[in-house]
Amino acid sequence: MGRGHMARRNTNRRVGIADVADKAGVSHATVSRVMNGNAAVDPGIAARVRAAAAELKYQPNPVGRSLALGKTDTIGIVVPDLANPTFQAILRGLSIAAAQDGYRVLIADSSEVTSEEAILAGEARRRCDGVVLCAPRMSDAELEELAPTLHPLVLINRTTVATNTPSLSVDYGQGIQELAQHLVSLGHQRLAFLSGPEHSASNRQRLAGLDQFRTGHPDIELQMLDGGSNFDSGHESTEAIIASGATGILAFNDLVAMGLLSGLHERGVRVPEDISVTGFDDIPFAKYTTPPLTTAAVPINELGSLAWRRMREQIQQAGESATQAQDEFPPRVEIRKSTAAPALKPAS
Amino acid sequence: MGRGHMARRNTNRRVGIADVADKAGVSHATVSRVMNGNAAVDPGIAARVRAAAAELKYQPNPVGRSLALGKTDTIGIVVPDLANPTFQAILRGLSIAAAQDGYRVLIADSSEVTSEEAILAGEARRRCDGVVLCAPRMSDAELEELAPTLHPLVLINRTTVATNTPSLSVDYGQGIQELAQHLVSLGHQRLAFLSGPEHSASNRQRLAGLDQFRTGHPDIELQMLDGGSNFDSGHESTEAIIASGATGILAFNDLVAMGLLSGLHERGVRVPEDISVTGFDDIPFAKYTTPPLTTAAVPINELGSLAWRRMREQIQQAGESATQAQDEFPPRVEIRKSTAAPALKPAS
DNA sequence: GAATCATGAGAAAGCGTTTTCTCAGAGCGT
DNA sequence: ACGCTCTGAGAAAACGCTTTCTCATGATTC
């Protein structure tokens, strides 16, 4: 009877701890002990167990372990759009850093659907030991309500009043001002900002930065144009940009700038001779555009690995809700070839 | 005692099924039943349970469910390099398609370390209901040995003799030949292939395709140059390309082509007037380079979602190892502006 | 009106681990 | 030689859920 049961299990199921125990002639508790090196086990028995495990190619079932240990060795990340190189870079940095500590990452793409974010984050949290929320589009109120339920949580490009949530953010307001300053110092008098997604917090920061810039430079014309966050929206804005008469264009990000570059090229508008264009983010492609893109570099590759470090800190000091660092990174203006002094106008 | 125990659990732990059962005055079995709508439950009791669950914001613990159900609703993907836009696109397509069916994806990046692939894949498989292996660099022998242990498995850009493993692959040999043909028909006589990573199966396919091309075109000069798979390697090959004297360059992929484009531009070599360049993959950026890149388009966005469909098919027909489709996609040559007839030479 | 049946809820087993609890036996001191 | 501690291994509980098994209750049928 018992044998029959065992036989069925052996053929049907994966090899489990019980099979190893049987083969080694010990209890499964002992197998667990030697596999984890937790308690002292007689060397002879340990060797027997290890031999049995090796012969059966036993690998502990992670689900069983997770249930017993109350941890999954997995963290979740939710991003608004996996097609965006910035988020791809963060995901990559996070994944590699986490892997080094034996953690995996589960990924959730909200596809810019704001209402899905909280749900995805909650699901991810339940499956994982923590979650990093990347540039969430949800409202401040919703974020404040959600954050405590997600702990351990790392925020990227958003902050919380809850001091026990570390956040990593880029000072977009500062960066866009520096880019505008760069254009002005080249001699541009008419600027235009091609803005990003409405619900993007980083777009609001850029807007705020430009407001500040305006007050410091009342003489400079600065138009605001609606745009998006990808190639196509940059490309589609070509006409509007040309019509604006601006000579210095601040694109929402590198993707938009690249789309614009392409559109301008098609229309025969020369960059930077006729129009200067700046991006934002310094994605890997930025220095390979023609002309190479002047942009504000954010530490895109470190963001992911730093996010992991902050997550690990929280996981290790389990329970204690110490106040966490809220890092803010200043972008670094990267001057390339897409910006230059404007052509001298016949009549100034 | 019991009360004390419960109280401690309530404060310490997350709310569990037992808490809902207590509150609704039923057994936890009944709670499970109404949550899953499995068996008939008295409507009154069901309502009471649902109310209690809602009030306590009860969400079943996925780890517990996974253990009981023997499935995790998660699939794993292992890629050689998350920085590669092709793999990013596949990951994205997979993730979105899987999410539509309520599955999540766990990601593993082997960082081109061949020896890690099997381990990562095995670990992923143990945690997930299936795994998709993306362009694995391992040897055929190793793949054949690994594949059965991973089932359900979907292979991308590799195939197995095991007929129960579906595979999705692109006919790189065919694509590269068509690109070469395109250059020749424009009038190019001297071609060069900037090859990719040594262990890449798709690179071998291109090499084989070009061998075939050679026999069909004995009059055409075709040089083979060593390269890599990213921007930088393309950029670094600039001098070698110029030195080669070739007028038609077949880059391993779009990334390499873009790096080369950039390098040629810096050197003042005009594309396509002086040299024609082709890429491969048609990554989203390809049509925004200057000039827009002629390339061979692979259905990069569908690959991920199709991979999910194949995975789902296997998961649904659990156990039955029916023979699975081995799809092969013909790339479509996308002629843009980076290729043109070569300049007429003074003396032919 | 008694035997049969359908309904539905609780008890309990099971999923695969880890870990606490328990206890047998060995080693030691007196 | 007796009792003590100590080591180490098995039994059993725990993790949080699903599902089978069991059985009470009330409805149905002749």
Reduced to 3 states (helix: H, G, I; strand: E, B; else coil), residue A33 is helix
pLDDT for residue A8: 38
Secondary-structure breakdown of chain A: helix, strand, coil percentages, each rounded to the nearest 5: 50, 15, 35
Q: Which residues on chain A are in Cβ contact (under 8 Å) with B108?
A: 95, 99, 104
Over residues A205-233, mean pLDDT? 95
Residue located via tokens 């966050």: A229
pLDDT for residue B2: 34
**What chain B residue is nearest to A260 in terms of C-alpha separation?**
B288
Q: Do A88 and B82 touch (CB under 8 A)?
A: yes
Reduced to 3 states (helix: H, G, I; strand: E, B; else coil), residue A170 is strand
For residues A290 and A258, the answer to whether their CB atoms sit within 8 Å is no
* B135-189 pLDDT, tens digit each: 999 999 999 999 999 989 999 999 988 778 999 999 999 999 999 999 999 999 9
Please tell me the distance in Å from B31's CA to the nearest CA on chain A. Answer: 19
**Quick one: fold of A74-170+300-330?**
Rossmann fold (3.40.50)
* A239-286 pLDDT, tens digit each: 999 999 999 999 999 999 999 998 998 899 999 999 999 999 999 889
CATH 1.10.260.40 occupies which residues in chain A?
Answer: 2-60
The CA angle B297-B298-B302, to the nearest 5 degrees, is: 130
Over residues A71-82, mean pLDDT? 96
Over residues A70-75, mean pLDDT? 96
* B46-64 pLDDT, tens digit each: 899 999 999 999 999 999 9
Beta pairing partners, A249: A192, A277
pLDDT tier, B42 (very low <50, low <70, confident <90, very high otherwise): confident
The CATH number of B73-170+300-329 is which of 3.40.50.2300, 3.40.50.360, 3.30.420.40, 3.90.550.10? 3.40.50.2300
What is the DSSP annotation of A183-252?
HHHHT--EEEEE---TT-HHHHHHHHHHHHHHHH-TTSEEEEE---SSHHHHHHTHHHHHHHT-SEEEES
For residues A180 and A246, the answer to whether their CB atoms sit within 8 Å is no
pLDDT for residue A198: 86
pLDDT for residue A11: 46
Class of domain A172-298: alpha beta
pLDDT tier, A42 (very low <50, low <70, confident <90, very high otherwise): confident
CATH 3.40.50.2300 occupies which residues in chain A?
Answer: 74-170+300-330, 172-298
Over residues A327-334, mean pLDDT? 95
Q: Which two tokens stand for residue A194?
A: 């091609």
Statement: residue B195 has pLDDT above 50: yes
B79 vs B84: CA distance, rounded Å:
9
Give the type of residue at A63: V
B4 vs B26: CA distance, rounded Å:
20
Reduced to 3 states (helix: H, G, I; strand: E, B; else coil), residue A316 is helix
pLDDT for residue B291: 87
**Helix H segments across A25-61?**
28-36, 43-56
Over residues A13-19, mean pLDDT? 87
* B236-251 pLDDT, tens digit each: 999 999 999 999 999 9
For residues B229 and B200, the answer to whether their CB atoms sit within 8 Å is yes
Over residues B26-34, mean pLDDT? 92
Numbers of helices and strands, H then E, in chain A: 14, 12
Statement: residue B301 has pLDDT above 70: yes
A291 vs A231: CA distance, rounded Å:
16
Q: Which residue has the higher pLDDT, A125 or B322?
A: A125
pLDDT for residue A348: 41
The closest alpha carbon to B200, from B146, B156, B167, B151, belongs to B156
CATH 3.40.50.2300 occupies which residues in chain B?
Answer: 73-170+300-329, 172-298
Over residues B79-102, mean pLDDT? 95
Q: Which residue has the higher pLDDT, B305 or B321?
A: B305
- In eight-state DSSP terms, residue A294 is B
A261 vs A17: CA distance, rounded Å:
61
Give the type of residue at B260: L
Over residues B57-85, mean pLDDT? 95
Three-state helix/strand/coil letters over chain B: CHHHHHHHHHHHCCCCHHHHHHHHCCCHHHHHHHHHCCCCCCHHHHHHHHHHHHHHCCCCCHHHHHHHHCCCCEEEEEECCCCCHHHHHHHHHHHHHHHHCCCEEEEEECCCCHHHHHHHHHHHHHHCCCEEEECCCCCHHHHHHHHHHHCCEEEECCCCCCCCCCEEEECHHHHHHHHHHHHHHHCCCEEEEECCCCCCHHHHHHHHHHHHHHHHCCCCEEEEECCCCCHHHHHHCHHHHHHHCCCEEEECCHHHHHHHHHHHHHCCCCCCCCCEEECCECCHHHHHCCCCCEEEECCHHHHHHHHHHHHHHHHHCCCCCCCCCEEEECCEEECCCCCCCCCCCCCC
Statement: residue A320 has pLDDT above 70: no
Q: Which residues on chain A are in Cβ contact (under 8 Å) with B266?
A: none
B185 vs B248: CA distance, rounded Å:
11
- Count of Cβ atoms closer than 10 Å to residue B71 Cβ: 16
pLDDT for residue A13: 67
Class of domain A2-60: mainly alpha
For residues A132 and A142, the answer to whether their CB atoms sit within 8 Å is no
A326 vs A319: CA distance, rounded Å:
19
Q: How many contacts (CB atoms, under 8 Å) link A and B? A: 118
Give the type of residue at A183: L
A15 vs B114: CA distance, rounded Å:
27
pLDDT for residue A284: 86
Q: Edge-to-edge strand order for the sheet containing B221-225?
A: B221-225, B190-194, B248-251, B276-278
Statement: residue B313 has pLDDT above 90: yes
Interface of A with B (CB under 8 A): 59, 61-64, 66-67, 72, 74, 82-83, 88-89, 91-92, 95-96, 99, 104-109, 111, 122-124, 126-127, 231, 235, 258-259, 261-262, 265, 284-285, 287-290, 292
pLDDT for residue B71: 95
Statement: residue A1 has pLDDT above 90: no
Reduced to 3 states (helix: H, G, I; strand: E, B; else coil), residue A253 is coil
Beta pairing partners, A104: A74
The closest alpha carbon to B157, from B96, B94, B80, belongs to B80
The closest alpha carbon to B313, from B305, B303, B324, B302, belongs to B324
Q: Which two tokens stand for residue B231?
A: 């921007």
Statement: residue B338 has pLDDT above 70: yes
Reduced to 3 states (helix: H, G, I; strand: E, B; else coil), residue A161 is coil
- pLDDT above 70: percentage of residues in chain A: 94
Q: Do B109 and A124 touch (CB under 8 A)?
A: no
Q: Which residue has the higher pLDDT, A305 or B318?
A: A305
Statement: residue B37 has pLDDT above 60: yes
Q: Which residues on chain A are in Cβ contact (under 8 Å) with B83?
A: 89, 92, 284
State the greatest distance between any 2 C-alpha atoms of chain A, in Å, as a whole number.
101
Rounded distance in angstroms from the CA atom of residue A110 to the C1' atom of nucleotide D18: 30
Residues B30, B35, B41, B43, CA torsion sign: positive
* A177-214 pLDDT, tens digit each: 999 999 999 999 999 999 999 888 999 999 999 999 99
Statement: residue A166 has pLDDT above 60: yes
Backbone conformation region of residue A26, classed left if phi is above 0, alpha if psi is from -120 to 50, else beta: beta
Please tell me the distance in Å from B147's CA to the nearest CA on chain A. Answer: 16
| Strand D: positions under 7 A of a protein C-beta atom | 7-12, 14-20
Residue located via tokens 């995901």: A91
pLDDT for residue A12: 55
Which of B57, B63, B91, B289 to probe the A interface (max A CBs under 10 A)?
A: B63
B276 vs B194: CA distance, rounded Å:
13
Q: What is the mean pLDDT of chain A?
A: 91
Helix (H) or strand (E) holding A155: strand A153-156
Statement: residue B9 has pLDDT above 70: no
Based on C-alpha coordinates, what's the Rg of chain B? 27
Q: Which residue has the higher pLDDT, A287 or B191?
A: B191
CA distances from A243 to A207, A262, A341, A345 (A): 21, 17, 20, 17
Terminal-to-terminal C-alpha distance of chain B: 99
Q: Do A284 and B258 touch (CB under 8 A)?
A: no
CA distances from A328 to A136, A221, A321, B190 (A): 17, 30, 21, 53
Backbone angles phi, psi at B298, to 5 degrees: -105, 150
Q: What is the mean pLDDT of chain B?
A: 91
